[in-house]
Structure 1
Amino acid sequence: MNRKILNLAIPNIISNLSVPLLGAVDTALVGHLEEAYYLGAIALGGMIFNFIFWGFGFLRMGTTGLTAQAFGGEDKAESVMILARALAVAGGSSLLILLLQGWIADLSFWLVEASPEVERYTRIYFEIRIYTAPATLGLYALNGWFLGMQNARYPMVVTIVLNAINILLDIFFVHYLGMHVDGVALGTLIARYTGLLLAAVLLFSRYRQWMSSYVHRMLLEVESLKKFFSVNRDIFIRTLCLIFTFSFFTAKSASFGDIILAANSILLQLWMMVSYGIDGFAYAAESLIGRYTGSGQQKRLTLTVKYCFIWGIGIGLLASLAYAVFNIHIIRLFTDQQKVIDAAMVYFLWTVAGPTVSSFSYIWDGIFIGATATAPMRDSMIIATVGVFLPLYMLGVSYLGNHSLWLALTFFMIARGLTLTFYAPRHVLRATSVQAG
C-alpha cells in the first residue's frame, strides 16, 4: 500500500512544491524592489485571484473524486463524460469571469483597505492576470481528471513545465527588463496557456482511444449531472469559506499597514509551501480512496487512510522543526527590507506551529474528496470559518492586534481537523463499508 501511495504522492509533491516555489520567487523578486508596496500589491492581487479561481477548485477536486470512482468501477464512458462536463463548466465560467471583470475589480478594491500605492499596482496586476481564467480553469479540469485516472505523472509534468516557464519569465521581465507587478502578471499569463496546451497534447497522446467513448447526449444526462453538481456545489461552498478566510486574513493584514501586510504575506507563503507538500499525500488519498470506494475494497481503503495520515503528519512535524531552526534565515530569502524582517520575526512562532496543526485537515480533505463525501466537508468548513475563525479574530483584535489573525488562522485549521475526524466514521468509513458489503 505504501508503494501505491508513494507512486501517486511523490509526483504530486514534486508538482505541488513548484507552485509555492513560484510564489516564493515572485515574492523574492518583488520583495527586493525599492518599495514595500510592490510586495503588498502582489499579496492583494494574489488574494483577489485566489478568491476568483479557488472558488472553481471543485473542477479539480470534484473531477478527481468522481473520475476515480468511475475508474474503480471500470466505467470508461462515464470517466470520459466527467471530463467533458468539467471542461464545459470551465469554459462557461471563464467566459463569465472575463465579461464581469470590471465589476469584479471594483468590488474587490471596495472591500479591501489598502494604501493608494498598493491599490494602484494591484490594479495593474489584475488587468493582465484576469485573462488567465480560461487556461487556469481548463487546467483544473484536466489535472483533476488525470489524478482520477490514477495518473499523477501528467499533472506533475504540466505543473513543473508551467511553473518553470513562469519563473524564468518573471525573472526576465522583472530583473532584466525592469518591470514590476506587470512583469509578474505577464509571466503568469504566458505560462498558463503554455501549460494548457501541454496538458491537451498529453491527453490526446495517451487517451485518444478513451475519447471515442464520448457520447454527446450523455453530456446532459440528468442523474449524472445531478451527482456532478451536487458534489461540486458542496466543494464550491467549502472552497468559498476557505477563500474567504485567507482573503479576510490578507485584507485585515493590509489594514495594519504595508509593513505588516508584507510580513504576513511572506509568512503565509511559508504556510502554503508546506501545505503543498502534505497535499501530495492528500491527492494520493483522493485517487486511491475514490478507486477503492468505486470498487468496494474496504480493507484497502482503511490502509490508505492510515498510511496517508502517517506520511502527512510526518511532513508537518519535519517542516515545523525546520522553521524553528532556520527562522530568520528563511525570512531573509524573501526580502532584505529590515522593517519587514523584524515584523515577520515577531509573528514567526505561528508559522512554526502551522505545518503540524494543519496536516490533519489537509489529509482528511483528500479522503473525503475521494469518497465524494462532500456535504460534511462543507459543514466542517462553515463551522471552522463562522464558528471559530471570525469569532476569535473579532474577540482578540483589540487586545492582540496582528497576533489575533494568526491565532484565528491556527484554530481554524485545528477546527477543520477535529470536525472532519468526527464526521469520518459515519460519512466515509461506514458509508464505504456498506457499499462494499
Structure 2
Amino acid sequence: MHHAPASSPRSRPDRRTRRRHDREIVALALPAFGSLVAEPLFVLADSAIVGHLGTPELAGLGVAASLLMTAVSVFVFLAYATTAAVARRVGAGDLPAAIRQGVDGIWLAAGIGAVLVAATALAAPALVDAFGASASAAPHAVTYLRISALGIPAMLVVFAATGVLRGLQDTRTPLYVAVAGFAVNAGLNVALVYGAGLGIAGSAWGTVIAQWGMALVYLAVVVRGARRHGAPLRPDLAGIRASGRAGVPLLIRTLALRAVLLIATAVATRLGDEEIAAHQVVLGIWSLLAFALDAIAIAGQAIIGRYLGAGDTERARQACRRMVQWGVAAGVVLGAGVVVARPLILPLFTSDAAVQDRLLPALVVVALTEPVAGVVFVLDGVLMGAGDGPYLAWAMVATLAVYAPVAFAVPVLGGGLTALWWAMGLMLALRAVTVGLRARSGRWLVTGAVRA
C-alpha cells in the first residue's frame, strides 16, 4: 500500500480513454440505479397509496418513514464500505478473499438488524412524540413504525449483499431484485391497504414482506458465489469486527447526514400538518433523485476501488474526473425533469390544495440545486471507493454544524417549507466545497488490496 504523491501528473484523457470510462460507468451505473432507488420507491409508493387515505395518515407516514430510514440508513456503510473493500481485492486478483470480506459484512448486518428491531419497536411512541407529531398523525406514525421495524434486518442484509455484488462489478443482479421487490411491494400495498382494509398497517406489512423476499434472494446469490470460489460462510468474529471498524467513519458521516434530514423533518413537523405532509413528498422525490445521482457514485466506488487495488492511480484520477462530468450533467437533466413534471407530481400524491400550495415552491428549490447535488454525490462515492471515510466523516460533521442553526431558525424567521429547502441547498453547497477540495488534493489515492 502507498499514497500517490499529490504532484503526480494529471494527463488529460484522450477521446478513446473517455469512451472507455463512459462505457464502464454506464455499464455499472444504469443497473445500480435500480437497486439504489428501491427504498425511496417503496416510500414513494407508500406515500401515493396512503396519501389518499387522508392528510393525518400521510403526515403519520412522513414521521414514521423518516425515523425508519434513519434507523436503517445510518448503517449504509454495510453497502459502501463492503463495495470498496471487495473491489480492492478484486483489483488485486484475490477473488476468494473478496467474497470472504463480503460474507463478514453480511453477518455484521444480521447482528445489527436484530438489535434494531427490538429497539425501534419498543421506542416507537417516544420517537414519534419527540418529533412533535400532531395528535391526529401520531397513532398512524406509531402503527407504521412498529410494523415496519420487522423489515430492518432484511434491509441491512440487502445493503451488505448488494455491496458484495457491486464490489465484484455486478450491478445487474441488484437491479433485477430491486425491480421485483418494488413490484411486489406496490401490489401488496394496494391489496392490503384497500383490498383488505388494513389502512396504514397494510402498507407497512406489504413493505416488510417485500423486503424479506429481496433479502432471501440476495443471500442465495452470495451463498452460491461463495461455494463456487471456496469462500467460507461461517461467522468469523475477527472479520466481523474488522468490517465494523472499517465502517465506523462512514457511520459517523451517515449519522451527520441523517441528522440533517431529521432536523428538516422535525422543523417541517412544527410548521404544521400541511407542511410535514408536503415535506414527506418533497423528501421522497429528493431522495429518489439523490439515489439516481448516487448510481454514478456506486460505479465510482467499484471502479476506483478496483483501480487502486491494482495500483493504477492515473486511471483512478481520470475516472473521477469523468464521473464528475456525468454527475453535473445528470443533475441538470433531473432538475429540469422536476420542473416539467410538477403538474403531474402534485395530484399524484395528494388532493389537498393546502398541501399542493406548499409542495410547488419547494420542488422548484429541489430542481435548482440538483446540479450541485450531482457533484456532491459523485465525489462522495469516489472518496468512499478510495476508502477515505475519515475525511468524509469530519467534513459532514462540520457541514451539520453550519446547517443546523440555519434550519432551526426557519420557524422564527419565516419562509415556511420553501425556506427549509433552501437551507438544504446550503447544506449541499457546503458539501460540494469539502469533497471538491479533497478530490483535487489527490490524498485519497492510496493503493493496495487493503487500505490501512
* TM-score after normalising by structure 2: 0.89
- Deviation per residue, 1:107-149 (Å, 9 max, x gap): 4124210111211011111121111122111111101111011
Cα contact 2:267–2:411 (8 A) shared by 1? no
| Displacement of 1:328 | 3.1
What corresponds to 1:340 in structure 2? 355
After superposition, the Cα gap between the structure-2 partners of 1:208 and 1:217, relative to the gap in structure 1 and judged at 3 Å, is closer
| Displacement of 1:229 | 3.3
What corresponds to 1:141 in structure 2? 160
What corresponds to 1:391 in structure 2? 405
Q: Secondary structure at the match of 1:315?
A: helix
| Displacement of 1:14 | 3.0
| Displacement of 1:429 | 4.7
After superposition, the Cα gap between the structure-2 partners of 1:338 and 1:396, relative to the gap in structure 1 and judged at 3 Å, is closer
Q: Which runs of 4 or more aligned residues in structure 1 lie more than 4 Å from their structure 2 counterparts after TM superposition?
A: 215-219, 427-430
Match of 2:200 among 178, 181, 187: 181
**Could you tell me which amino acid in structure 2 is paired with residue 186 of structure 1?**
W
What corresponds to 2:51 in structure 1? 31
Q: Secondary structure at the match of 1:296?
A: coil
1:291 matches 2:312? no
Match of 2:172 among 131, 135, 153: 153
What corresponds to 1:254 in structure 2? 269
Structure-2 separation of matches of 1:115 and 1:50: 20
Structure-2 separation of matches of 1:102 and 1:29: 23
Structure-2 separation of matches of 1:12 and 1:91: 23
Cα contact 1:397–1:404 (8 A) shared by 2? no
Cα contact 2:128–2:141 (8 A) shared by 1? no
Cα contact 2:383–2:444 (8 A) shared by 1? no
What corresponds to 1:96 in structure 2? 115
| Displacement of 1:102 | 4.6
| Displacement of 1:204 | 3.3
| Displacement of 1:187 | 0.4
What corresponds to 1:83 in structure 2? 102
More helix by share: 1
After superposition, the Cα gap between the structure-2 partners of 1:125 and 1:12, relative to the gap in structure 1 and judged at 3 Å, is same
Structure-2 separation of matches of 1:12 and 1:76: 21
After superposition, the Cα gap between the structure-2 partners of 1:256 and 1:10, relative to the gap in structure 1 and judged at 3 Å, is same
Match of 1:400 among 414, 430, 434: 414
C-alpha RMSD over aligned residues = 2.2
Structure-1 separation of matches of 2:145 and 2:288: 23
Task: Give % identity.
Answer: 24
* TM-score after normalising by structure 1: 0.92
Cα contact 1:371–1:428 (8 A) shared by 2? no
Match of 2:238 among 211, 220, 228: 220
Cα contact 1:68–1:287 (8 A) shared by 2? yes
| Displacement of 1:219 | 4.6
What corresponds to 1:370 in structure 2? 385
Cα contact 1:285–1:366 (8 A) shared by 2? yes
**Could you tell me which amino acid in structure 2 is paired with residue 126 of structure 1?**
L
Match of 1:114 among 120, 125, 133: 133
After superposition, the Cα gap between the structure-2 partners of 1:340 and 1:93, relative to the gap in structure 1 and judged at 3 Å, is same
| Displacement of 1:321 | 1.4
Aligned ranges for residues 194-273 of structure 1 at < 5 Å? 194-210=213-229, 212-214=230-232, 219-220=237-238, 225-226=241-242, 228-273=243-288
After superposition, the Cα gap between the structure-2 partners of 1:100 and 1:25, relative to the gap in structure 1 and judged at 3 Å, is closer
| Displacement of 1:379 | 1.3
Structure-1 separation of matches of 2:231 and 2:378: 33
Moved more, 348-357 or 260-269: 348-357
Unaligned runs of at least 5 residues, structure 1 = none
What corresponds to 1:305 in structure 2? 320
**Could you tell me which amino acid in structure 2 is paired with residue 245 of structure 1?**
V
What corresponds to 1:54 in structure 2? 73
After superposition, the Cα gap between the structure-2 partners of 1:396 and 1:253, relative to the gap in structure 1 and judged at 3 Å, is closer
Structure-1 separation of matches of 2:366 and 2:161: 33
Unaligned runs of at least 5 residues, structure 2 = 1-20
